Amino acid sequence: MSLTTPRASMSRRLFATMAATVVTVTLAIAPFHTPPASAAPGEIPRDSSLFVAEKGHVDSPKVFYKDGHLSLETEAKGERRPIDTAIHNLGHGYTREGKQNFIFTVPKNAPELDFLGKPGTDLFMSPMISNLPHDPIWAGFGADTGVPIENFRDGAFTLDLVDVKGPGRVEQFRWSPGGEGESGYLTRMLSSSDSRYRSALLTAGTHTHNYTTFSRPGRYELTYRASARTKSGSLLATKEYTTQWQVGGNRPGAAMTSIAEKTPSQAKHGLTITPASGVEGRDSAVEGKLHTLEVRTPEVEKGTAEFTVNGSHLATVGLSHGYAGFHELLPADASRYQVNVRDESGALRYTSAPLSLKDAKASTGESADPLAPNAEKSEKFGAKELSIGSRRVSASFAPASNGTHALTVTVDDPQFAGFVSLGQFSSEKDDLPNTTFDTAVRGGKATLSVPSSYLDSGDALKLSLTPHPLVRNAKKTSVTLASSFNARDTFKKTFELSPDGATSPSNDQPRPDPSQPSDPTTPGEAPTCRDRLLIDHGHLDLALQGDASGVSSTIKDDSRIGAKNTVDRDGGEIALVVSDAAKEARTKAQAGKEWDGILAPVGEPTWVLPFSQNPSLPWPGYSTERVKEGDFSSYELTLEKVTGPGDVSLFVPDGLGGKPRTLLASRKGAPRSLPIEGPTHAHTAWAFTKPGTYTLTFTYKAVKPDGTTVTSNPQTLTILVGKNAKDEFCSATTLEP
């Protein structure tokens, strides 16, 4: 990869969407699905039997495979359960430093985010980048390592968002903000509002870090399915699973405690909504963004107040002395709010008339019937198989406006739906890309805007087109679009999609495939040297496991290199290979002591494993989810020893597009221990300032509730950085100290 061509600033590229494993599409309209049992208008939701996923890393939906069937589950705190038995709680979350971590404000000068609303629009957010203690829920989706992709056409499968019901819009995306005068880079993933983004392409052993935003607080129902096309031509799909999200409001299953009534002498009977003031606790940091919703019913001394938005559940608040209130982030629109007051016996005693922030008045003492839920419009996704006629494809990549290049892909048959990936390679002969840019194909067409600063002159550009599993008679096709990219030129290509000859008879009903083996088979020979497995891509975790009697650390390997399932390994069994796909040049924009403590000097390269997964690089993280819950109150990860030719840093950005924050590093005076609260699974960026062989030794300390501690065994990771490091390591007879 050239280091002399203009590039995006490293702070952008580190967290850009690089993985080719998640792109999105939509197809036909489904007739119906079966939603979960839900409360009638104005009633309190029945949540007591649901598992509440919250405050930490959550994979949901996560695709699993067993006995010829795919299934969708929620994985949180090291435990799994069917996704339709879980509810995801997105509350008001904050970092250790007290910074809010649950509001996404649409920035100025980011036209790629216009789909979220005007600049300044505030949305509820499950963050893409989460700082400790990972509050609120840090949610993504993914797939188990054991899904037998070797038996699937194109080695992939999809997660389909079938339907969304709720008071607002739901969007899942990755976004890297642009530098001064540069475009940001956006990858849209799943959407309730845009029918182009209703399916995500996955492969085994991956999971996403992404934003999930909601335009209004309240209760949402999301219905998913997973589907694959087997190599024998059968469609393999799950049933439709409906799971729930609670956005803002109370924690599911329990009424929230009311705020204190501030002005009882001036109180009016009924519902009142006013800009928040005098907010106490952590929410005081965002007081200017909140409203206060209150109800006063002197005739009901004690009970519950069920607040709703557009007829959907918003919050259940305990009512005492005829008062209940809470602070919430509300959109500046015509949403209609109500409150239903019940006494201690559960009898409905009062329902307010609807009130909107657009009303001239801030309160109402009138009563009315409870509003029926009025869900935001969302087109359903369908499950009908199809066969395309013409497989002819035309593609072009050309300079566009605002410092971008535009990719246009057209399939002759407008029925075609699938996924397109534009890969950037150091040379045409390379197998793994340095960067990928991904989007969906719907109606036979796809367009994609790529910031020109991400593109390197002289690199090869390869295009891959993958049909959705519902398409019977085509399979993944890859072509070279440009053997040597030049920013001034337009590149065009016409080609034919490869036919899939293993088409099954037409059957619109997805079904399990009994020909699939129950357990993946043993893989072929994997790359090794000096008795070590060489891992050059894929997900791994430095994982802590055990209980109060003792703990141990292991390398949890989801890379599928050397095995087709998750494998626990010792650090001495492997070496991580970091190619020059990780090589970045520091820019002038990355000035200041924060970057000085992480990167090489301006103009010199640093090898960076990004925060989000790049399919061409190892993706190491850390995890305490396999420790028995309740046995420990906190943990500490310590970087005990580092050897190597340069400096090493593990870091994250400090908030949305903020400066970096070093978590662990080898430099003098840098932190060597990372405190961890509760069960955690997280990823950081890793920076190496020089090429060569590094060894990093880590230990965990687990703290019991009584303050006593237990310490794990050390784990030493060997990391080979740069294009020559692997050859030098493998040709040596002994490891340098």
Least confident of 47-61, 337-351, 541-555, 586-600: 586-600
Confidence of residue 733 (pLDDT cuts 50, 70, 90): low
- Structurally, the chain folds into a number of domains equal to 4
Give the CATH number of the domain where residue 464 resides: 2.60.40
Residue 379 placed within a domain: no
Q: What average pLDDT does the structure give for the chain?
A: 89
Query: Does residue 700 have a pLDDT over 70?
Result: yes
Burial 43-54 (b: 16+ CB within 10 A, else e): bebebeebbbbb
State percent of the chain over pLDDT 90: 75
- Does 205 lie in the same domain as 67? yes
The predicted model gives 657-680 an average pLDDT of: 90
Mean pLDDT for the stretch of residues 138-161: 96
The verdict on 606 and 674 lying in the same domain is yes
pLDDT at 737: 41
The number of angstroms, rounded, from the C-alpha of 490 to the middle of its chain's C-alpha atoms is 34
Q: What is the mean pLDDT of residues 148-154?
A: 97
Please check whether residues 243 and 103 belong to one and the same domain: yes
138 has pLDDT over 90: yes
What is the DSSP code string of 270-323?
Answer: EEEEEE--S--GGGGGGGGGEEEEEEE-TT--EEEEEEEETTEEEEEEEEETTE
Per-residue pLDDT, averaged over 395-407, amounts to 94
At 36 the pLDDT is 55
Task: Examine the domain organization and report whether 301 and 342 are in the same domain.
Answer: yes
Instruction: Provide, rounded to the nearest whole percent, the portion of the chain with pLDDT above 70.
Output: 89
DSSP state of 594: H
Amino acid at 78: G
Q: For residue 221, is it within any domain?
A: yes
User: Residue 511: which pLDDT band, with cuts at 50, 70 and 90?
Assistant: very low
Domain boundary among 441, 476, 496: 496
Identify the band that residue 654 occupies on the pLDDT scale cut at 50, 70 and 90. low
Which band of pLDDT confidence, cut at 50, 70 and 90, is reported for residue 10? very low
* C-alpha pair distances (Å), 58 with each of 7, 256, 497, 687: 33, 23, 37, 26
Domain that holds residue 452: 392-496
592 in the same domain as 711: yes
* Mean pLDDT calculated for residue range 112-139: 93
Element (H, E) at 226: strand 218-229
- pLDDT, average across residues 658-685: 91
Residue 40 has pLDDT above 90, yes or no: no
Judge whether 31 lies within some domain.
Answer: no
pLDDT at position 96 is: 87
Q: Do 266 and 231 share a domain, yes or no?
A: no
Question: How many Cα neighbours within 13 Å face the side chain of 343?
Answer: 7
Do 279 and 426 lie in one domain? The reply is: no
In a domain, 39, yes or no: no
Identify whether 139 is part of a domain.
yes
224, 247, 270 — which closes off a domain?
247
Q: Is residue 27 part of a domain?
A: no
Q: Report the pLDDT value the prediction gives residue 509, as an integer from 0 to 100.
A: 41
Cis-peptide, bond into residue 433, ω within 30° of zero? no
- pLDDT at residue 645, as a whole number: 98
CA-closest candidate to residue 447, choices 391, 494, 392, 395 = 395
CATH of residue 334: 2.60.40.10
Would you state the pLDDT for residue 262?
82
| First-to-final CA distance of the chain | 30
Do residue 602 and residue 693 come from a single domain?
yes
pLDDT band with cut points at 50, 70 and 90 for residue 401: confident
- The per-residue pLDDT for 525 is 65
553 and 466 inside one domain: no
How high is the pLDDT of residue 713?
Answer: 98
Residue 657's pLDDT band (cuts 50, 70, 90): low
Q: Which pLDDT score is estimated for 37?
A: 47
What are the structure tokens assigned to 79, written together? 């435990």
Over residues 184-205, the pLDDT tens digits come to: 899 999 999 999 999 999 999 9
Based on the fold, state whether residues 289 and 157 are members of the same structural domain. Answer: no
Which of 212, 247, 282 is at the close of a domain?
Answer: 247
Res 387 pLDDT > 60: yes
Residues 122 and 154 placed together within one structural domain of the fold: yes
Measure the CA–CA gap between 368 and 351, rounded to whole angstroms: 6
Within-domain flag for 510:
no
Kind of pairing, strands 86-90 and 241-247? Answer: parallel
Residue 515 lies in a domain: no
Question: Is a pLDDT exceeding 60 seen at residue 385?
Answer: yes
Q: Is the pLDDT of residue 655 over 80?
A: no
Q: Are residues 448 and 476 in the same domain?
A: yes
Helix (H) or strand (E) holding 33: none
